[in-house]
Each structure stands twice: as structure tokens, then as C-alpha cells.
Amino acid sequence: MNTPLETRHTRLITEVCSAQLFLPVVTVLVIAAAAALLYIHPSMLSTISGEKNTDAARAKVLASLYDCYDSEKRNMCLKEIAAGFVAHNETDAVFQVMEENQRAARVFESCHVFLHFMGQAAYEKYGSVSEAFRHGSHTCFAGFYHGVLEGYFMQNNLLTSNTGSFDAIAKKMPSICTEPQSAGAKRDYNECLHGLGHGLMFATSGDLPQALKLCDALKGADAQWCYSGVFMENSTSTTNPDHPSRYLKKDDPLYPCDILDEQYLHTCYILQSMYFAQLANGDWVKISLYVWTFLHRIETPALTGWGRTLWDIVRIRQW
């Protein structure tokens, strides 16, 4: 006849607690516990060490950033430490710090610019747009990717101030970004095209019409992605002394959209909302007044774009 489970458990406990078994069992348990305390598996040591190293790397990044924020030559300082982080393969720690701290006012105001500098350094290190992109992140409005394309133009001496460079850039435009081989690569491809627009503003020294004309070397949606980078770089240039804009007017917030040809207007209107947010310092009432003022000049898809763009800005930046 089978013994009920509860009865067997009760009998086992009784035997363990008996005089014959109690001391040996306790002794074994004490020894096992002591061994567990004294022995740490190598993988556990590796994990603990890794966590400490990661924390130390993040602390180093944040300390370096704040040192630059307090410097009189902030952008020069940011450029130098960006190159250092790339050279020492510390970009992951930087991206993590930016992701965790980009809501902080001091980090937010410079994180996009700083990642531009890191992207420039990454292109110089890897010598390839696609390879540099593999080490990137979309953190801080994808500043790293934009910087990679700026690095491409710098390292290849493709600046329109140089004789013949405009035609050279136009000829290279269709081959700079690698066509996606899978659906998953499409986002990076579009980001590259968008980054091209940022890079072209750098290559043309902020000549917006000239940058747009270079984007026209691309076709269809690819050109629109390029336009978006041009307009984003222009509308956010007030936060970056290295990229001053000649195409923004406080007394005409829609400028330069109102001087451009029809093919550029949709994308220009959408990205110009970033400038509205800066002028209004994130005040939704003031932003709404800008929208209301220009409502009769904007088509519905652009208004939808305004909503998305402004939400992205306010979602990250706690005004």
C-alpha cells in the first residue's frame, strides 16, 4: 500500500530531527552555506566587474560633458572629448548617458551637437558611412548619424567653397547611402539620406538653396528625406554656434519656406515647426499662435507633421 505524500514528508522531517541524523545534516548545511559564501563563480565576478566598469564609464562621460558645459570654448571642448570617446570605443557608454539624461536641460541643449561631433570622429576612424553607422544610435534626434555624413564631406574634401566641389558632390550623391537589402535596413537608409541633408548644410557652409539643389540629385522620396535634413539643420542651427543659419528670421518665422519653390514646401513647413518651438521656448500657447497665424498657408499633411515634430521635442525636453 502506497504511503500518502504528506505522511512520507512528515516521517522524513522526524528522522532528520532525530538524534542520529540531526547533527550530520546541520553540519553539511553549514559547510555548504560557508562554501557558497566563500566561492563566487568566475561568471559572477565578470558580471560584477562589468557593472562597475559600465558605471565608471558612464560617470566619466557625464563628468566630461559637464566640464565642457562650463568651458568658455564649449564646442571645441565637446569636439575633443567626442573624438576621445570614439577613439577608445566608448560610444556605447555615451549613448546610454545621453538616453538617460537628455531630459536634463544642460544635456538636452548640447547632446545633438555633441553627437554630431562623435559622428564626424566615427567617419574619420572607420572611413566608411555604412561602417560608422553600425556604431551609431538614434539618441538625441540621431545627431550621431548626421555627424557621420558631415565627416564624409570633410574627410573627402567635398566642400562647395572648393572649386568644382559642387559638381563633384552632385555626382556622388546617389551612391553615398547604401541601398537597403532588407526591410530592416530601410530605416538606416532613410536616416542616411536625412543625414545627407545635414551634411550638405555643412558642406555648403549653410547655403540652404544650394544644399537643396544638391538633394535634387536624388529622386522621389529619397530627395524628400534629404530635404528634411537640410531643413532640420537650418531650423535647429540656433542651438549650435558651429552651424549658424542665414535662413532664419524672428520677425518671419516661416522664412525660408516662403521664398522656396513648390517642391520643397511640404518638408520645409513640417521642419520649420522646430524653430517655432525655439522661439516660443516650448510654450504651447505661443506655439499654437504660430500655427494659427500660418494656418491659411499650410496644407493638412504639414499640420500633422507639425504635431509629430513638436510632440517629439516636448516629449524629450521638459520645458
pLDDT at res. 180: 76
pLDDT at res. 179: 80
The pLDDT of 14-32, averaged and rounded, is: 39
Does residue 17 sit within a domain?
A: no
pLDDT at res. 225: 96
Does residue 40 sit within a domain?
A: no
Does residue 44 sit within a domain?
A: no
Do the beta carbons of residue 196 and residue 170 sit within 8 Å?
Answer: no
- Whether 204 and 258 map to the same domain: the answer is no
Query: Residues 86-99: pLDDT tens digits?
Result: 999 999 999 999 99
Residue 58 has pLDDT above 90, yes or no: no
pLDDT at res. 177: 93
pLDDT at res. 2: 45
Count of beta carbons in the 10 Å neighbourhood of residue 36: 9
Q: Is 274 helix (H, G, I), strand (E, B) or coil?
A: helix
Does residue 31 sit within a domain?
A: no
pLDDT at res. 48: 38
Count of beta carbons in the 10 Å neighbourhood of residue 90: 18
Task: Indicate the range of 105-109, 162-166, 177-181, 310-314 predicted with least confidence.
Answer: 310-314
- Whether 216 and 258 map to the same domain: the answer is no
Residue 131 has pLDDT above 90, yes or no: yes
Query: Residues 273-318: pLDDT tens digits?
Result: 788 878 887 777 887 787 777 766 666 556 666 666 666 665 555 4
Do the beta carbons of residue 165 and residue 158 sit within 8 Å?
Answer: yes
Whether the CA torsion 246, 252, 254, 258 is positive or negative: it is: negative
The pLDDT of 28-37, averaged and rounded, is: 39
Farthest-apart Cα atoms in the chain, separation: 101
- Whether 81 and 221 map to the same domain: the answer is yes
As a whole number of angstroms, the distance between CA 291 and CA 276 comes to 9
Among the candidates 193, 223, 247, a domain finishes at 247
pLDDT at res. 86: 97
pTM attached to this predicted model? 0.74
DSSP 8-state secondary structure symbol assigned to residue 40: -
Query: Residues 185-237: pLDDT tens digits?
Result: 888 899 999 999 999 999 999 999 999 999 999 999 999 999 999 999 998 76
Q: Residue 122 is part of which domain span? A: 54-247
DSSP 236-262: TGGG-TTS--SS--TT-TTTTGGGS-H
Residue 245 contacts by C-beta under 8 Å, 6 or more apart in sequence? 206, 208, 234, 235, 237, 238
- Whether 270 and 296 map to the same domain: the answer is yes
The pLDDT of 236-246, averaged and rounded, is: 66
- Whether 277 and 215 map to the same domain: the answer is no
Among the candidates 188, 218, 247, a domain finishes at 247
pLDDT at res. 210: 96
- Whether 266 and 158 map to the same domain: the answer is no
- The mean predicted confidence, pLDDT, of the chain is 78
- Whether 233 and 99 map to the same domain: the answer is yes
Cell of residue 44, nine digits: 559572477
Residue 96 contacts by C-beta under 8 Å, 6 or more apart in sequence? 54, 58
Among the candidates 229, 247, 265, a domain finishes at 247
Does residue 175 sit within a domain?
A: yes
What helix, strand, coil percent values describe the chain, rounded to 5? 75, 0, 25
67 vs 281, higher pLDDT: 67
The pLDDT of 164-185, averaged and rounded, is: 86
As a whole number of angstroms, the distance between CA 137 and CA 281 comes to 27
Residue 240 has pLDDT above 50, yes or no: yes
Cell of residue 223, nine digits: 530627395
- For 130-137, the CB contacts below 8 A with 24+ separation are 130/178, 133/188, 133/191, 133/192, 135/91, 136/91, 137/91, 137/95, 137/98, 137/99
Domain count, the chain: 2
Does residue 8 sit within a domain?
A: no
